[in-house]
Amino acid sequence: MTHVTTHVLDAASGLPAAGIEVVLAEASGASVVAETPGAVVAHGTTDRDGRLALGPDALSPGNYTLTFLTGEYFAARGVDTFYPFVTVTFIVAVAEDGTSAHCHVPLLLSPFAYSTYRGS
């Protein structure tokens, strides 16, 4: 299993958000402040169920971002949106035994709002 997965639901349509491009990147305090991504780790597009697995089997401890290209998704559907992209920053931590947990980062999306949480 890859280390990071996501599931995007279009709350306005009530359907999975298929075809959203997503970028997984390293993040640091400097890159977050400068609003520039760190090194890209992986990228892909959500499937017809709005799901995507990204990255290698394991990530080094640290901060990472998932950037969802939501503007392109809504534009393709002729829908105006306030958010051209959504970036979620999260931490990959390592337990005392040297393992780190799988990260699932769901996104509930509409043209003018979004929410996310730590999934399982």
User: Hey, where are the domains in the chain?
Assistant: 4-111
How far apart are the C-alpha atoms of 31 and 67, rounded to whole Å?
A: 13
Pick the CATH number of 4-111 from 1.10.3720.10, 3.40.50.1100, 2.60.40.180, 1.10.357.10: 2.60.40.180
pLDDT (0 to 100) of residue 32 = 52
| Residue reference for tokens 């979620």 | 88
Q: What are the per-10-residue average pLDDT scores of the chain (120 residues)?
A: 87 97 84 62 96 89 93 96 95 79 93 94
Give pLDDT, residue 108.
98
**Looking at residue 34, what is its pLDDT?**
53
Position 2 scores a pLDDT of 61
